[in-house]
Structure 1
Amino acid sequence: MTPSIPSYVGVLGGGRMGAGIAHAFLISGATVCVVERDLPSAEAARERVIDSVDKSLARGTVNETRETLLERFSVATDYQEFARCQLVVEAVPELWELKVSSLQAVEAVMAEDAVLASNTSSLSVSGLAAELQRPTRFLGLHFFNPVPASTLIEVVIGKQTDEELVAAARGWVEALGKTAVVVNDAPGFASSRLGVAIALEAMRMVEEGVASAEDIDNAMVLGYKHPTGPLQTTDIVGLDVRLGIAEYLHAELGERFAPPQILKDLVAEGKLGRKTGQGFYSW
């Protein structure tokens, strides 16, 4: 049987990641609604998704017309929009209290058999599920930035996640034209834990004067065939995001994930990477 995605998909949060997730489901045939906290944020999310759709059309990677695609796309500020969705993916910032309150608010309006997922890159899926009324209908769907170009989605299984839901999630990922990596819930899962470990060591090497950021990155790109080096990737992800993940992993897994001083200093100076124009690189 050919895998398919849910017909109606909601995305909570329309930043870079949320817009990318919305785009992925939209061009794969779903009707998609992005819900944001206020009208200016919703309009900004609309522009991000439309821009991403236009780029896909220019590359010739979608068969539908722009008009047809955008007829299936909407933005809103009311959580009630999620009532008709078969799947909602939460994509708000990596703050525990915000994640919990957002997920609880979404669950309150969803159908009982609908699926709720978090795009968290490091927080405990089992811990988040414990705050919900229907933990068996919850799992992690960790998309990667930039979503349109990335071929990986990490499917994170919580302690109470229904086994049939995991199989369904694999099918959704395949229908999106991506590959699923299924992991049991653990701090940092597989991807963030490995990615952050490499990035933190690269930062320490810059701090110690071992080599420049460019040369460290080139060593990984040319020697290990990484598409981008760990420091450039950190700039793309956001130094503040990487710091938050490192602090969480430090608390959960010990000193090997202690964030280097150079990372803390750059974040304190507002040098967060590509989104601010300066991080380990100038953008």
Structure 2
Amino acid sequence: MREVKRIGVVGTGVMGQGIAYQAAVSGFETWIYDARPEALEKALEQIAALVKRQKEKGFLRDEPGDVLGRLRTARSLGELSECDFVIEAVTEDLAVKHSVFRELDGVCAPDVVLATNTSAKSITEIAAAAAMPERVVGMHFFNPVHRMELVEVVRGLESAEWAVEQTEGVGRSMGKETIRVNERPGFATSRISAMVGNEAFYMLMEGVSSAEEIDKAIKLGLHFPMGPFELGDLVGWDTRLHVLEYLHQTLGEKFRPCPLLVQYVRAGRLGKKVGRGVYEYDEEGRRIPGSASGR
């Protein structure tokens, strides 16, 4: 089995940034790629800011310069050809994922695992774009990556045992606990998380309580680390809606997206990344006190 020293991360949104940070902190030479050069530059700034914060809080043993020195930027997917393991973290759009996997399949060595960080899509369907679907495995990280302990390792129909084992090993080397999951819509966690977030929106729509009070209830009453609205604002409500639509299509009516959630996405209230979701945020990404929507 190939020794993994270099990890490639495709996509530099919230999840891609988190995965790249975790890989670099864990000692891997980490190559990041995004089709949009401006997104790549922003990702480097965000990762550097996170490294600084984590060092100031005492959570980082290495010097910031050493961690950031492990980061490399790729200007094309072809530059990831020397990576020993690649993690895709692009938008939850099957056509986009297929394009990425077709190209990666053509440039990466046959014994390189191509992992997808999809939170709900079919691993088998994503792998169908690759000439070697046996090396495609789900590797589902959770947001925020540097705080969440779990990685779901998801086996698709064609995923080979060696690829699953290597994905588990990389996850552990990145400081995470892993569980194996056989492919089903939403895996072991996304279907629960999506249902909680969707139900929270129904509660907000029905006037059960305010967004802040619902978040407080879930954190203090159920010991969730974040409230459903806090988490949705962080992940992005467009992403949450895509997952719900897929689960509704594959698993039925219990996952029908709440009409209010759909309205938020249509209004462009996508969350922290645009400065406004259920809560509002300043230019530094800090939540503005008292900014929660009443509905």
TM-score interval for Structure 1 and Structure 2 normalised by the shorter chain:
over 0.9
**Secondary structure of residue in 2 paired with 1:108:** helix
Task: Please report the RMSD computed on the Cα atoms of aligned residues, expressed in angstroms.
Answer: 1.7
Superimposed CA distance per residue, residues 10-36 of structure 1 (whole angstroms, 9 cap, x where no aligned partner): 011112211111111111111111012
**Secondary structure of residue in 1 paired with 2:273:** coil
Determine the C-alpha separation between the residues in 2 that align with 1:62 and 1:173. 18
The more displaced of 76-85 and 258-267 is 76-85
Alpha-carbon offset, residue 53 of structure 1: 2.3
User: Equivalent residues in 2 for 1:103-114 (5 A)?
Assistant: 103-114=101-112
Counterpart of 2:50 in structure 1 is 52
Alpha-carbon offset, residue 252 of structure 1: 0.7
**Secondary structure of residue in 1 paired with 2:86:** strand
Determine the C-alpha separation between the residues in 1 that align with 2:7 and 2:43. 15
Q: Which residue of 159, 172, 175 maps to 1:174?
A: 172
Q: Which residue of 76, 85, 88 maps to 2:86?
A: 88
**Secondary structure of residue in 2 paired with 1:42:** helix
Superimposed CA distance per residue, residues 103-125 of structure 1 (whole angstroms, 9 cap, x where no aligned partner): 11112110111110011111100
The more displaced of 82-91 and 230-239 is 230-239
Counterpart of 1:268 in structure 2 is 266
Counterpart of 1:40 in structure 2 is 38
Q: Check whether the contact 1:34–1:45 (CA below 8 A) recurs between aligned residues.
A: no
Alpha-carbon offset, residue 5 of structure 1: 7.5
Determine the C-alpha separation between the residues in 2 that align with 1:78 and 1:273. 29
Q: Check whether the contact 1:24–1:176 (CA below 8 A) recurs between aligned residues.
A: yes
Structure 2 letter corresponding to 1:10: G
Determine the C-alpha separation between the residues in 2 that align with 1:80 and 1:172. 22
Counterpart of 2:20 in structure 1 is 22
Q: Check whether the contact 2:101–2:127 (CA below 8 A) recurs between aligned residues.
A: no
Determine the C-alpha separation between the residues in 2 that align with 1:49 and 1:269. 29
**Is 1:163 matched with 2:149?**
no
Counterpart of 2:142 in structure 1 is 144
Determine the C-alpha separation between the residues in 2 that align with 1:222 and 1:45. 33
Q: Check whether the contact 1:5–1:30 (CA below 8 A) recurs between aligned residues.
A: no
The more displaced of 81-90 and 62-71 is 62-71
Structure 1 letter corresponding to 2:52: D
**Secondary structure of residue in 2 paired with 1:140:** strand
The more displaced of 39-48 and 144-153 is 39-48
Alpha-carbon offset, residue 63 of structure 1: 3.4
Alpha-carbon offset, residue 237 of structure 1: 1.2
**TM-score normalized by structure 2?**
0.90
Structure 1 letter corresponding to 2:245: E
Counterpart of 2:76 in structure 1 is 78
Determine the C-alpha separation between the residues in 1 that align with 2:67 and 2:216. 39
Alpha-carbon offset, residue 264 of structure 1: 0.8
Determine the C-alpha separation between the residues in 1 that align with 2:70 and 2:132. 28
**TM-score normalized by structure 1?**
0.93
Distance 1:234 1:38, change over 3 A: closer
Unpaired runs of at least 5, structure 1: none
**Secondary structure of residue in 2 paired with 1:181:** strand
Distance 1:5 1:268, change over 3 A: farther
Superimposed CA distance per residue, residues 56-79 of structure 1 (whole angstroms, 9 cap, x where no aligned partner): 332333333333333321112211
Q: Check whether the contact 2:113–2:167 (CA below 8 A) recurs between aligned residues.
A: no
Q: Check whether the contact 1:45–1:75 (CA below 8 A) recurs between aligned residues.
A: no
Counterpart of 2:120 in structure 1 is 122
Q: Check whether the contact 2:194–2:240 (CA below 8 A) recurs between aligned residues.
A: yes
**Secondary structure of residue in 2 paired with 1:275:** helix
Distance 1:23 1:196, change over 3 A: same
Unpaired runs of at least 5, structure 2: 282-295
**Is 1:223 matched with 2:236?**
no
**Secondary structure of residue in 2 paired with 1:33:** strand
Aligned pair count reads: 280
Structure 2 letter corresponding to 1:205: M
